[in-house]
Amino acid sequence: MSKSNTQKKSQVDSLKTLLKDKSNFLLVKIDKTTHQNLESLRRELKKTNTTFKVIKNTLFQKALNISADKKPLFKELRKKFFPLREPSALITLDKDWSAGLKAFYSFIQKEKTLSFKFALLDENLYTDEETGKIAKLPGRGELVGKIIGSLKSPTTKFVYSLKFNINKLVYIFQQKAKEVK
């Protein structure tokens, strides 16, 4: 086996391992993106515990074909999105993938040479348009905060309304006490 074949085999094995270990990932188009921008993106994604790897489409397809026996969802992915064209990169996300997705989405708002191809999130496949819509949604933590705030708000207003008359009465007494002195 030649050196290049050995390298390709190790790259396919590396991609297989990534696909097995990470259940959430994005495939993105990196057409005409500079190396500096890719490194900047890699640093931004690292803050959210997300990895970025430039890949060869053919090697990714081979790794996906091998892994398709263990994950039937990969067969559907092949039918829907293959063959791949433009240069690609694989972004692997944690279980809480919203932070990594938002980080990439905010980066591509500035860098127009990057875009979504497709995403596999929580065992569901999404096209590039659907992935963009999901990236615009608030994250899980932000939603939980909004729900807690909305639940707390009526209670706070109710308690304030109960205390309002008593507070007003106390204020009047304080004013009268100052006048007497």
Half-sphere exposure of 7 (CA within 13 A, CB side): 5
Q: Give dist(CA 121, CA 106) in Å, integer.
A: 18
Give the tens place of pLDDT for each residue, 32-45.
877 887 888 788 87
Give the tens place of pLDDT for each residue, 78-135.
777 777 788 888 888 877 787 777 888 888 888 777 888 888 887 788 888 887 887 8
Question: Using alpha carbons only, what angle is made at residue 57 by residues 21 and 15, rounded to the nearest 5 degrees?
Answer: 20
- Token couple for 76: 């559907």
pTM of the model: 0.68
Q: Give dist(CA 26, CA 19) in Å, integer.
A: 11
